Amino acid sequence: MYVPVALVTIATRFWVMHMRKCLIAGNWKLNGDHALCDQFASTVFPTDSSFDIVICPPATLLQSMQQLIKKHSSCLRLGGQDVSVESQGAFTGEISAKMLHEAGAQYGIIGHSERRAYFAETNEKVAIKMAQLLAANVSPIVCVGESRAARDQQQTLAVIEAQLSPIKAVLQQQALSCSQIVIGYEPLWAVGSDQPASPEQAQQVHQFIRESMADVPDAEALRIIYGGSVTADNSAALLAMPDIDGALVGGAALNIDSFLGLLPVV
Ligand code: PGA
């Protein structure tokens, strides 16, 4: 059994400052196995109620991880890494939002830059996936982010706005609340690169996203989390920013010690 070491009280302060519950999500991508599930589920995480911890393993591990979470009375929540735009039918290899929900997922990542780059996930598809997840009572973690070239050409905010636009349209047309939605700002140049955005760079885009989403129902409840090379060395400074409500973590979520090290401490 793993027990975190240092326990001071940043998480409570975070809650008071941000008025939104901090969310730390681990995205295992195409990694992980039953043993890693068992290690995470049997770990005693800081239990302060001011933040949520979500692990997004590959879909085949969701159900067994769900059982391990129950067995160990773990505070972990589960998320999927993608979802189909379809609800059911002849779509070989797809997984529906309802299936994710039944497997125990409370969250679902959509629009990750790897899905956009390698699997032709468009802004419009991401918006459909968001609606599918919400209808199945699964909270979407909608990823947005600009390439290095876009940033160099001062196109960051334009790219983000184009990615948000169909999302906002669906939310407004269907009068869906922002309270179940998470936006993950993940600059492509920071993902898996050991070159995280600086807290100031991330804050600038998070603030822009918050302003852009201001007309959507319950906008003040929208959680915007940062992803891209988050580690124990940089998480506290990122989470201290007023519009950063959590972190989406790839590489550092594959090892229990590095993951524990980046959590807000209670
Ligand atoms: P990283 O990945 O933490 O390894 O940069 C983040 C992500 O892809 O969500």
pLDDT band at 14 (very low <50, low <70, confident <90, very high): low
What is the Cα gyration radius of the chain?
Answer: 17
Which residue in the block uniquely carries the two structure tokens 């195409």?
Answer: 30
Q: With contact defined as beta carbons under 8 Å apart, do 109 and 86 qualify?
A: no
Provide the sign of the torsion angle of the four alpha carbons 257, 232, 181, 86, taken in this order: negative
Encoding tokens for residue 249? 């973590």
Q: Quick one: pLDDT at residue 6?
A: 40
CA distance 125 to 266: 38
Which letter does DSSP use for residue 43 in this model?
S
Element housing 159 (H / E):
helix 156-173
Q: What is the pTM of this model?
A: 0.93
What whole-number distance in Å separates Cα of residue 230 and Cα of residue 236? 10
Chain segment 54-82, per-residue pLDDT in tens:
999 999 999 999 999 999 999 999 999 99
- CA-proximal residue: ligand 1, atom 1 (nearest): 250
Ligand 1, pocket residues at CB < 6 Å:
27, 186, 191-192, 227-230, 248-252
Task: Kindly indicate the confidence band of residue 1, based on its pLDDT and cuts at 50, 70 and 90.
Answer: very low
Evaluate if residue 3 carries a pLDDT over 50: no
Q: Provide the pLDDT confidence category of residue 248 given band limits of 50, 70 and 90.
A: very high
**Is the confidence at residue 237, as pLDDT, over 90?**
yes
Compute CA distances 249 → 57, 208, 225, 252, whole Å: 12, 22, 10, 6
Span from the CA of 228 to the centroid of ligand 1 (angstroms): 5
Identity of the residue numbered 158: A
Q: Is the pLDDT of residue 7 over 80?
A: no
Say what the pLDDT of residue 17 is: 52
Which numbered atom of ligand 1 lies nearest the CA of 191?
5
Average model confidence (pLDDT) across the chain: 93
What's the token pair of residue 99?
């299936």
Q: Which residues contact 68 (CB under 8 A, 6 or more apart)?
A: 37, 38, 41, 42, 74
pLDDT for res 219: 92
CA–CA separation, 43 vs 88, rounded Å?
Answer: 36
What residue spans define the domains of the chain?
28-40+58-84+95-224+239-260
Count of residues making up the chain: 266
Instruction: Tell me the best of 118, 183, 230 to mutate to test the pocket of ligand 1, counting ligand atoms within 8 Å of each CB and taking the most.
Output: 230
The fold for domain 28-40+58-84+95-224+239-260 equals: TIM Barrel (3.20.20)
Does residue 192 carry a pLDDT above 80? yes
CA 231 to ligand 1: nearest atom: 3
Residue 141, strand partner residues: 109, 182
The whole-number average pLDDT for the span 223-245 is 97
**Stretch 145-169: mean pLDDT, rounded?**
98
Interval 115-126 mean pLDDT: 97
- Residue from 173, 166, 161, 162 nearest 217 by CA: 173
- Give the side-chain half-sphere CA count within 13 A for 171: 24
Residue 235 token pair: 């998480």
pLDDT at residue 48, rounded to an integer:
73
Give the whole-number percent of the chain exceeding pLDDT 70: 93
